[in-house]
Structure formats: structure tokens, C-alpha cells
């Protein structure tokens, strides 16, 4: 009876170890696929470039993130004739602040 319990514990431990090994292999495969993609991109850049300077420029352009232009907000244009003196002063203070 003791041998059966030891065997069940051994099987459980074996399953855990095999599960960890399989998980580790899947992580390694995913990482390798990502690295392979980077190497393939570098190889294509090397084929496209005619000079080392062009290759350097292609490598640098992939690292630079595109700059997003600032979003322009529409200014509220209110005719001066429709604004009282007090509102005009408040608008000026708000613009300066």
C-alpha cells in the first residue's frame, strides 16, 4: 500500500515537472519567433540598402516612433460688439493665464 502512495506522489511530481518543461519550451519558442522576426527585418533592410549608410538609416527609422501632431482646438471667436467690458476683461485674463 505504501508503494502505491509513493507511486501516486511520483506521478504527480512527474506531471508537474513535465508541465513546467512544456511551458518553458513554449516560452522559448515564442521568444525565438520574435527574435527571428527582428533578424528577418534586418536582413531585408540589408538587401534593400545599397550602402552601409542606407542600411544605418533604415535601422534608425525603424526605431523612431512617428511624431503625432498636436491636436488644434478651434478658438471661440466672439465679435467684440457682443461682449461687455467685464466679459472682455475676463476673456483676456483667461487667455493670459
pLDDT at position 5 is 52
pLDDT at position 20 is 95
- Indicate the SS3 state at residue 54: helix
Cα–Cα dist 92/96, whole Å: 6
Question: Where along the chain do its domains lie?
Answer: 2-71
Per-residue confidence in pLDDT tens, the chain, 97 aa:
445 556 777 788 889 999 999 999 999 999 999 888 888 888 887 888 888 888 888 887 767 677 778 777 666 677 777 888 888 888 888 878 6
Query: Could you give the dihedral angle defined by the CA atoms of residues 78, 79, 81 and 87, in that order, rounded to the nearest 10 degrees?
Result: 20
pLDDT at position 94 is 82
To the nearest 5 percent, what fractions of the chain are helix, strand and coil? 75, 0, 25
pLDDT at position 64 is 65
List Cβ neighbours of 58 (8 Å cut-off, separation of 6 or more): 45, 48, 49
Amino acid at each position: 500500500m505504501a508503494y502505491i502512495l509513493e507511486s501516486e506522489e511520483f506521478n504527480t511530481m512527474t506531471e508537474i515537472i513535465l508541465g513546467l518543461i512544456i511551458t518553458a519550451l513554449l516560452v522559448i519558442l515564442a521568444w525565438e519567433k520574435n527574435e527571428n522576426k527582428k533578424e528577418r527585418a534586418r536582413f531585408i533592410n540589408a538587401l534593400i540598402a545599397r550602402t552601409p549608410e542606407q542600411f544605418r538609416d533604415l535601422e534608425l527609422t525603424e526605431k523612431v516612433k512617428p511624431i503625432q501632431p498636436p491636436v488644434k482646438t478651434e478658438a471661440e471667436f466672439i465679435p467684440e460688439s457682443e461682449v461687455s467690458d467685464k466679459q472682455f476683461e475676463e476673456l483676456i485674463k483667461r487667455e493670459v493665464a
